[in-house]
Every structure is written in structure tokens, then in C-alpha cells.
Amino acid sequence: MLRNPLLLKEFRQRMRTWRAPFVICGYFCAMFAFTLFLLHENVQGQLTLLLPSRSEQVFVTLSLVQLLVAAFLAPAFAAGAISGERERRTLVVLLSTPLSALGILIGKILSSSALLALLLAVSLPLYSLVFLFGGAVPGEVVAVFAFQLFTLVLIAAISVCWSTLALRSGWSTVVSYATVAVMVVLTGVLGYGLQLVAAHDPVEYFLVIWGKCLLELNPLWVEAALAGAVPASPHAWLWFALAYSSVCCILAVPSVLRLRPQALSFLPWRPRAEERDYH
């Protein structure tokens, strides 16, 4: 995987510019200032009031804000991965390499999420402030960080697939952000709404089930569950991973066929489309 020439090229191209260290430094400074603000607000400026319960609130809030910011940054890096190559007339050159269509998609996904993963990594020292006052245990931090990383790769994969299926970067960006909005906003609003309705009408038990299923599709709620902020099943993250991994696999099939229509040439009812039809 690391020998993928497309991945190595993207790494060098992204990390050798001035923008990468500028974004990393700016993100770390912003998150550091936000963490200090949370600590100050929780103790009202009195350091003697720092308690584990309040430090836990800082940990949960910091994790949720970081995931929210990174989730909405991911489409900006990935939504133009393939459509941008098509618009720059370099997709033909990319397809002429020995890389398979799946290898191209994987290379674009990993390269698009690499900078965001680095942003998550540089924010890890901020959690030492939480450890200082006993607000979290190392297992919770590892679980939250791993879930954030998985969610970013997941959103990047969906955005790259939309970038492959759409012929223009504008459309792929719109659809990618709409997908993130459904994941973050719609599932949360509907899930909490169904649970509130079920609380006033306990007979409607299926509303509780549907509300729980929708909340388990919300990355913010699942991360809050991993941090121990909301009551949830210990395997809530598993339903989230299986559901969205299935979405990625479903979108990957037409994406591969969009890049390499001849992949189904062995079928008698194969489509007549050719690669040049999408360039």
C-alpha cells in the first residue's frame, strides 16, 4: 500500500508546499486556545476548582469539536480528487499507468485524509491537560482518536467516490457536504426527535428502536458514547462502522466502473461505455 506511486506523489506534492505547515500550525494554535478557553470557563478562572468531572466535560467537548471540524474539512480535501484530475486533463495520464482503478481510488483516499490525520495527531498533546486533572483515561483517548481517524478516512472515501461519479468538482463537493450533513445533522435531529416522541408515548416502542439506530449512525453521538458522555451500547461503534463501510463498498463499485468501464468486458451484457466517454 505504501508503495503506491500515486500515494507517494500526493504526499510529496501536499507536504512540500508552505500551506501544509501553515494549516497544521494554525489548527494547533486554534485548538490550544479553544482548550484553554474551555478550562477557564469550566473553573471560572479559579484553578483550585479543577475537578475530574469538569475536566471530563473539557475532554468530551474538545473531542466533539475536533471531529466536527475535521469532518467538514474532509470533503474540501477529497471532493476534487478525481474530478479535479478530469478537469485538468490529467486523468488520461493517470489511467495510462499500471495502477488499477481500485489502486487509484485507495491512493486518492489515503492522500486526501493524510493531512487531516496529521491535524489529529498534533492535537494529542492537548489531551495531556485532561490527564493532568483526571478527566479521562488513556483507553478513552485511544478509542476516541481511533474513531476520529476512522471517520475521516470514511468521509474521504465517500467524497472520493462522489468525485469519481460526478463529472465536475462543484457537484462532487456539494454532494459530499450533503452526505456529511446527513451523517452529522440529519441523523442526530431525527434520532433525538424520535426518542423525545417515544418518551411522551411509551407504547410506540419502535420509535425508540429507530431513534437508537439513527443515533448510532451519527459520528458525534458515537464518539460521545466512546467518551462515556452518553449511555449507549458498548458496540454502538460497530453498527456505525458496518453501515458506512457498506456505503463505501456500494459506491466503490460504480466508481471503479467509471474509471475502468472495461472491467466488465467479460460479461455478455457489458456496458458500451468507454474511458474516453468520461474524460
Answer yes or no: is pLDDT of 90 > 70: yes
Query: Given this model, what pLDDT does residue 127 score?
Result: 79
Question: CA-CA distance, 263 to 265, in Å (whole number)?
Answer: 6
Query: What is the value of pTM for the model shown?
Result: 0.86
Mean pLDDT of 256-277: 63
CA dihedral 31, 35, 38, 42 (to 10 degrees): 170
Instruction: Decide if 82 contacts 164 (C-beta within 8 A).
Output: yes
pLDDT (tens digit, 9 = 90+) per residue, 33-88? 888 887 777 666 555 555 556 667 778 888 899 999 989 889 988 888 888 888 88
Question: CA-CA distance, 64 to 240, in Å (whole number)?
Answer: 16
Output DSSP code: residue 203: T
Query: Given this model, what pLDDT does residue 43 score?
Result: 63
Query: Given this model, what pLDDT does residue 228 score?
Result: 77
Mean pLDDT of 1-19: 71
Residue with cell 491537560: 129
Query: Given this model, what pLDDT does residue 261 score?
Result: 75
Query: Given this model, what pLDDT does residue 182 score?
Result: 93
In one-letter notation, the amino acid at residue 277 is D
Query: Given this model, what pLDDT does residue 276 score?
Result: 53
Question: CA-CA distance, 230 to 225, in Å (whole number)?
Answer: 5
Those residues with Cβ within 8 angstroms of residue 134's Cβ, 6 or more apart along the chain or in another chain? 52, 55
pLDDT (tens digit, 9 = 90+) per residue, 177-201? 999 999 999 998 988 888 887 777 6
Lowest mean pLDDT across 55-64, 147-156, 158-167, 244-253: 55-64
**Percent of the chain having pLDDT more than 90?**
22
Distance of CA 131 to the CA centre of its chain: 26
Q: pLDDT-based confidence at 203, cuts 50/70/90?
A: low
Query: Given this model, what pLDDT does residue 61 score?
Result: 86
Instruction: Decide if 89 contacts 187 (C-beta within 8 A).
Output: no
Question: Which sequence spans correspond to the domains of the chain?
Answer: 5-261
Instruction: Decide if 58 contacts 39 (C-beta within 8 A).
Output: yes
Closest among 169, 166, 160, 170 to 74, alpha carbons compared: 160
Q: In this predicted model, which residue has the larger pLDDT, 264 or 169?
A: 169
In the three-class reduction of DSSP (H, G, I as helix; E, B as strand; rest coil), residue 182 is classed as helix
**Does an H or E element contain 37, and which?**
helix 19-43
Mean pLDDT of 100-112: 86
C-alpha cell at 47: 484553578
Answer yes or no: is pLDDT of 14 > 80: no
Instruction: Decide if 213 contacts 227 (C-beta within 8 A).
Output: no
Question: CA-CA distance, 210 to 212, in Å (whole number)?
Answer: 5
**b or e along 54-70 (b: 16 or more beta carbons within 10 Å of the residue's beta carbon)?**
bbbbbbbbbbbebbebb
Q: What is the mean pLDDT of the chain?
A: 81
**Percent of the chain having pLDDT more than 70?**
83
